[in-house]
Chain A
Amino acid sequence: MRHIISVLMENEPGALSRVIGLFSQRGYNIESLTVAPTEDKSLSRLTLTTIGSAREIEQITKHLNKLIEVVKLVDLTDGEHVERELMMVKVKASGAQRAEIKRCTDIFRGQIVDVSPSIYTIQLAGTSDKLDAFLQAVGDVSILEVVRTGVCGLSRGDKVLSV
């Protein structure tokens, strides 16, 4: 099953390499990873998605917690949560295609953020499924380039991950 693990850690050099090293060292996989400092500059928030059995996920969270730089973590998929991923797609858009792609972008509530006579660059945010669906709708033929940030998310309601 896919899990989203959100980690609050010290914003120090080497901390990220420890997290990544842990995954490769113990044979766990990382589907996506995103990391940036938080409102408290001494902390970074790292969000990663991984796939594994309940037992593997338990081991992953335990080993992450053992890293000295990891302050706190939560498996967002344990409870209600919101998750988003940002994607930018560069697509061929000329002739009849141009209007079709614009319509498709509107349907998915995306935005065209750069335009040239034959190309659109589209920005889209949503769950990973939604981004996948958009790519499918646009079709491989039109797609020139895709970049995705990886998933980030927060627990719903008043649950907070903080120091």
Chain B
Amino acid sequence: MELLSGGEMIARALKDEGVEFIFGYPGGAVLHIYDALERTSDIPHILVRHEQAATHAADGYARATGKVGVVLVTSGPGATNAITGIATAYMDSIPMVVLSGQVASHLIGEDAFQETDMLGISRPIVKHSFQVKCAQDIPATIKKAFYVARTGRPGPVVIDLPKDITQPGQKFAYDYSEEVKLRSYSPATRGHAGQIKKAIQLILEAKRPIIYAGGGVILGEASKQLTELAHRLNAPVTNTLMGLGCFPGHDKQYVGMLGMHGHYEANMAMHNADVILALGARFDDRVTNTPSKFCPYAKIIHVDIDPASISKIIAADVPIVGPVKAVLEDMLLQLDEAAQKKELQQDTQAIATWWQQIDQWREDHGIWHTPRYDLSSGKIKPQQVIDTLCKITHGDAYLCSDVGQHQMFAAQYYRFNQPRQWINSGGLGTMGFGLPAAMGVKLAYPDADVCTITGEGSIQMNIQELSTCTQYQLPIKIFNLNNGYLGMVKQWQDMQYESRYAQSVYKDSLPDFIKLAEAYGHVGMKIEKSADLEPAMREALAMKDRLVFLDIYVDRHEHVYPMQIAPNGSMQDMWLSKTERT
């Protein structure tokens, strides 16, 4: 058997695991590992400019590909800088393995230079974590970490590596096993057949059904099955923010996103439904509004791989624990059987009436039926930017969003054709996510249109990554919806604090983004007039080999609508504009 040092084992194990990219930043505690990678590995390493960006880039890569993102950081500040990115991945159940350096074993607990208790700090935001005690344990630990990260409900896993176990001097036999056994970890592989039968019965009896599909459908690769089921049942489908793309955005059965800034027709259909089929969604507080007023007429079928998500916020009438894909396949089979036996049939008349109602809602206030932004002032509207982008890219681009108004406009106006195109920090809401995430996506799919949708607030939280994009020639297109305010903060201040803009204004301190982009070697474009928008966007997207930073000056006072009324509102209580409400 081959003899390798600890550092070499890490390099080899990552190779054996099929890792395509490592996102990281070197430092004292990981120098042995970096040297081993340099000497023995051909896995491309992407040197970021801040460890937070390494985690977001690995996260973006994981979201776009479904593979595990890999991060390598040093101890102390390297590890703590990675925390925000780990928490981001944790909240959205993204598979990630973070290798963090640690001071040498004999120094642990002595407040050594660049020592921090990484296991302790990361514990609440990881799916699991390991500290490797001796070099011989490295291969098995890495194997377990990847297995835990990608199976069941995915999530980030931290491996803490004391420096001494990675030293080049000592060599050990290397063996990378094919199988992992963890007696205490066995995620469900099928849903309970009896529960699925009950669910099918409920769905077929429904007069006003709706499918509420979340990020779990994307993580569980179940879009095809979802689409087939929805078409078979002629049921409307709404997506959560995390689920966008899991059902085709242009499908006539798609009623849009639900929740706080969801589409009017989606929220109305949810509120009035009699059966809700929740798939890989977790009834987040940004979805339900007031839980006690949530969907008063509905029986709820809840399918999720994580039993702890079921009946956490809203009690499920039919809980089904299992991978959403396997459950949907079983549902389709049972539908076939029911159709053959002709024992249970849908009330097609009731469903037709339900669609008439939904179409009426679409006509009344649907933003896809009638765009709810006014171009008469000549100012560029943020919604218009997204609408135009969707038109130019035919709904095929990867959109990596930051957090704020631009994120919600993107979620409302871009109609994704495929799962994994919409890359955003839904759960944690991490500003600064969009640019580094786009780096991970662009590395995975060099020929695709990869766009960062951001604002002048978010982009500055990780703007240093423009340098990384230069080093690795990542021709991302950055759409900076510049309104000179922290837009979402301002919107809330307008609505709840009588427009007192406490710390949401930068005065004249914003940089010249064009010069900034150019300083990093990229192309900058300033767009101020509505008429210039589409040509400029087309020009930018046509520059296939250049990063283009589009600084787009949008209407400074636009709000995101619909917006659910809270506190104490139900799904159907919404502001539709600054003056209209339901």
Where the two chains meet, the residues of A that have a C-beta atom closer than 8 Å to any C-beta of B are: 9-10, 13-14, 17-18, 21, 25, 55, 58-59, 62-63, 65-66, 68-72, 163
Contacts and interface: CB of A to CB of B under 8 A. Distances in A.
A68 B312 CA distance: 20
B123 to A, nearest CB: 5
Contact of B124 (A14, A25, A55, A70): A25
Contacts of B148: 68
B311 A58 contact: yes
Given A59-B312, A71-B183, A65 B123 contact: no
Contacts of B129: 14
Interface centre among B128, B184, B312 (most CB of A within 10 A): B184
Contact of B307 (A14, A65, A69): A65
B184 A62 contact: no
A18 B120 CA distance: 9
Contact of A71 (B119, B128, B184, B306): B184
A114 B123 CA distance: 43
Nearest to B148: A68
22 contacts: A10-B184, A14-B119, A14-B129, A14-B131, A17-B123, A21-B123, A25-B124, A55-B311, A62-B307, A62-B308, A65-B307, A66-B306, A66-B308, A68-B128, A68-B148, A68-B182, A68-B185, A69-B184, A70-B184, A71-B183, A71-B184, A163-B183
Interface residues of B, number: 18
Interface in B173-203: 182-185
A32 B127 CA distance: 26
Interface string B151-192: 000000000000000000000000000000011110000000
Interface in B323-340: none
B87 to A, nearest CB: 12
Contact of A68 (B124, B184, B307): B184
A141 B191 CA distance: 60
Contacts of B127: 68
Contacts of A18: 123
A13 B306 CA distance: 25
Contacts of B306: 66
A17 B122 CA distance: 12
B193 to A, nearest CB: 22
Interface string B231-275: 000000000000000000000000000000000000000000000
A123 B307 CA distance: 43
Contacts of A163: 183
